[in-house]
Structure 1
Amino acid sequence: MCTKNRVTKAARRQQLQKDLEEVKQLMEQATRKRVCDTLMVEQRKLETEIANKQAQQRRTAEESTELLKPATVVAPVATGYMVKINNYGWDQSDKFVKIYITLNGVHQIPAENTQVSFTERSFELLVKNLNGKNYSLTVNNLLKPISLEGSSRKVKKDTILVMCKKKAEHKWEYLTQVEKQSKEKEKPSFDTDTDPSAGLMNVLKKIYDDGDDEMKRTINKAWAESRDKQGKEEFDF
């Protein structure tokens, strides 16, 4: 039974990654802003779900490892709920991209309660047991690759500094690929007569069928405006 569950979870993660890759490909084809915005929302949802599953997998592996170790005195883990961090600032030097997160009192908890894990194109911050709460921040799809060995974190008064070591000393115009794509899609398109491809319509239908009421309203509105401009019949979801 356990083996079956592991296979199912692995297949789910693989399917999510395939969905994300297809959405990215369709974003490159899309020319209408509202369609691009809709795909951007779906991309962020998929990235968040993938990141959450990866974090859960890492935590499960860590818990399994801990069970094999002899009992030791460890820092207390908060029993409170998880708070997602949405606000942060960033800047850069020639060698580092620096992300600043403000958390009051973070410098007063044990250093081991503030953890950051890096991949070549992402990082995940976890702060445990700060005033009875846990805090997390996941940033995926960094604009350029980073070096895991050179990346680190520093804790200062009420602030966490995440330092991502650049693999190449190039200037980053954006922190993530998502930000870059979003800004580029906002630029005026001169090809206003091009229709979205059949593949784009298929993924929009899937997003519509799986989406909540707000998502459906967004897609309906985008399609209605596109239909009015082009004088074509309304697509029936």
Structure 2
Amino acid sequence: MDLLDGQITQLETDLQEVNRFLEQSERERVQCVLKLEQKKIEKEISVKRQQKDQQARKLETTCSKTYTVKINNYGWDQSDKFVKIYITLKGVHMNATESVEATFTERSLVVLVKELDGKNHQMIINNLLHPIDPQNSFKKIKTDMVLVMCKKTMNKKWDCLTQVEKQTKEKDKPSLMPDENADPGDGLMNMLKKMYTEGDDDMKRTINKAWSESQEKKSKADGDMSMF
């Protein structure tokens, strides 16, 4: 209950008591005094309610202007028992503790920082690499930082934070066990195609030149062989 609510409640209690005295009073002069007090209290209640309405409208306007931005920049580390996520937000320690929320499931976490610099800040991480213990995971507020502590369910080192990161690393990782029956030339061609596709203009010109020269040498060699 805020200050205005408390004042209105107190005035309403006073009004009930004045009304009770008014009902019991038999003297006209006393009744006049009580009626004056009754009107005075009713006016005070009306003013306080108007102030409360104005306060509510102001709060509603402020909240409607607040928008949510996504937290993309963070760091992480780990110990034997916890995965630690570091979110840097200037001035977050100046906000009320309840304005920072952290919600955990076995494979995800959501951090929401409300009304910091006129914005809400939210971070969502899904598909964690390994399950965590939601009941024993928590957040800490430090100077200009939110520290998220995700309790490991297994004493195991995490190679990355999410399953998606793991899949991306495995996809980009070159094969260490080449197919013995594969044509070595195919591997070279695939590598050149990848370099050509991902390379800049200089790289493409270099590859084109090398390809042209190799074709010329091949044609010349084929021509020399035809003489025999």
Q: Normalising by structure 1, report the TM-score.
A: 0.48
Q: Which has the larger radius of gyration?
A: 2
Q: Flag the structure with higher helix content.
A: 2
